[in-house]
Amino acid sequence: MNQKPKLIYTQEEMIKLNKETLLARGVKLEQIALIAYDQQSKYTKDIPFQLCLDSVEKIISYRDVFHYIQLGTEIDRLAEEHQFRGPIQDILDYDLGLFGADETFGLDIARNYGTIGQTNFGDIDVNKPGIVNELNEIGKLSGHCHTFLDDIVGAIAAAASTRVAQIINETIALENLDNVLKYDIFDLLKKSKATKK
């Protein structure tokens, strides 16, 4: 009897499968979180590392990101095993600079966090911090292909970094609101009159 194929996964299942897939391809979530941490530390001091790690988990729980991770890592693996036919085998294996489908994956993942997500991805794509550089270097060795993985990892870091920035801004906005609410509107009017005198 034919078994029904499993097509739909829960967020918990997607996180678990993505974690396992990334680890099997040499990437730990902490290494992705570190890129987000370093990128946001340029703007804000003392960011909790856990917030970066939680943000990475959040990004890899999205269904479209799950599909990109699962598809991109399989393309890399198949290229390592020389399973493609025609010119695309060498284009993938040699990570041709003018091949842009990998960046398209990255841009689309980063787009979950808007224009800032995409510009953060551009920064990571150009400067190749941490694990992105390691993947890029290992990918040049024979028997290794990280053509899609480096962009996927960079984009998850960019999206997580943008999420961290949004949470920090929300916290600041709520604190400011709390300060305003401490005063009665008439207290504020009295205060402004007193300073005018």
Binding-residue total with Mg ion (CB under 5 A): 4
- Comparing CB distances to Mg ion, the nearer of 15 and 151 is 151
For tokens 């284009």, name the residue: 91
Q: How far apart are CA 169 and CA 113, in angstroms?
A: 14
Q: Which of residues 135-154 bind Mg ion (CB under 5 A)?
A: 147, 150-151
Q: Which of residues 56-95 bind Mg ion (CB under 5 A)?
A: none
Phi and psi at 10, nearest 5°, equal: -75, 165
- Comparing CB distances to Mg ion, the nearer of 137 and 187 is 137
- Comparing CB distances to Mg ion, the nearer of 132 and 165 is 132
Q: Write the CA distances from 181 to 90, 122, 175, 176, 187, integer angstroms.
A: 63, 40, 10, 9, 11
Do the Cβ atoms of 57 and 163 come closer than 8 Å? no
For tokens 């960046």, name the residue: 103
Nearest approach, Cβ of 104 to Mg ion (angstroms)? 10
Nearest approach, Cβ of 165 to Mg ion (angstroms)? 25
Q: Count other C-beta atoms under 10 Å from residue 48's C-beta.
A: 11
Binding mask 100-119 for Mg ion (x = CB under 5 A): --x-----------------
Q: Which residues bind Mg ion (CB under 5 A)?
A: 102, 147, 150-151
